[in-house]
Amino acid sequence: MRATFYGVRGSCPCSSDAYRRYGGNTSSVLVSVEGEPPLLLDLGTGARELGSVLGRAARDAGVPLEANALLTHLHYDHILGLPFFLPLQDPGSRLDVYGPSQDTGRLSDVLAAAVKPPFFPIQMGEFRGDLRFHELDARSGPEVVELGPVTVRARAIPHKGHTLGFRVEADGRAIVYLPDHQAPADRRSVDEGVLELCEGADLLVHDAQFTDDEFVAMPDWGHSTVAYALHVAGSAGVRRLVLFHHDPSHTDRQLDRMVAHARRLAGAARVAEVSAAAERATIDLGRA
């Protein structure tokens, strides 16, 4: 099982030489399991390039793309890549999207309301590919989705609005994806559902949008600090931590400093490896 990053930012995309090494697209990660359809984690602006890569591979193989996507929530930085996902322009392609149920209507209807004029020139119903939606709740307990040999576990986690975290298991390995996670005021306690998802994972991709000083100024904006991400990883016995959902104000140099700071923290001794997500970087977990 492999994870490849196509979008690593939070809140909004950004572009300049100051963001060249880590990248400026918003959340989108590809999980690859040999012989299985691609699994996309979120559909931020990184999904545009990811769709181009997957579309080329499908055309080279002479078959339409079939893929699955897991949406954590519906904030713009996690869905803006959906209408730019090129395989949906190919007849015969299919994308199954699993996402959080909505209090205001069906998941498909809520997303369709964001992809139509005057916000976008066409409607989702005009896509040539097949787009299917599956609602998950997971607020009262875990929900499990079996995608062939790939098992997905979802839990509602603390953030603004109904937000899911995911644990993806295949080949005897486990990747946990928590791109938006509201740290508690004490930055010590950890939500029961979060611990359940993270326990013993091989790789944790976790919200690390804020420095400690930024969190003090924005304690209820729905995000975590580098130190809290490390605390979650250490508390759950995670082997590798990838800092994710980088703030659009954080340049490459600042992210370098944040990673260095994380590795100096006392809790780092409990985690084998700490790094920051960068576009096009791949982490290969192999097989157990």
Bridge partners (DSSP) listed for residue 99: 135
Do residues 248 and 44 make contact, with C-beta atoms less than 8 angstroms apart?
A: no
Tokens 């130190």 found at:
227
- Predicted confidence at residue 100, as pLDDT, reads 97
CATH 3.60.15.10 fits 2-284, yes or no: yes
- Predicted confidence at residue 140, as pLDDT, reads 86
Q: Which residues of the chain have pLDDT under 70?
A: none
Q: At what angle do helices 252-264 and 226-236 cross, to 10 degrees?
A: 40
The pLDDT tens digits of the residues spanning 96-137 come to: 999 999 999 999 999 999 999 999 999 999 999 999 999 999
- Predicted confidence at residue 268, as pLDDT, reads 72
- Predicted confidence at residue 18, as pLDDT, reads 96
Do residues 144 and 150 make contact, with C-beta atoms less than 8 angstroms apart?
A: no
- Predicted confidence at residue 269, as pLDDT, reads 76
- Predicted confidence at residue 33, as pLDDT, reads 97
Do residues 27 and 165 make contact, with C-beta atoms less than 8 angstroms apart?
A: no
- Predicted confidence at residue 195, as pLDDT, reads 97
Task: Domain ranges for the chain, please list them.
Answer: 2-284
Residue 133 is encoded by which pair of tokens?
């939606």
Which of left, alpha, beta for 94 (phi over 0: left; psi -120 to 50: alpha)? beta
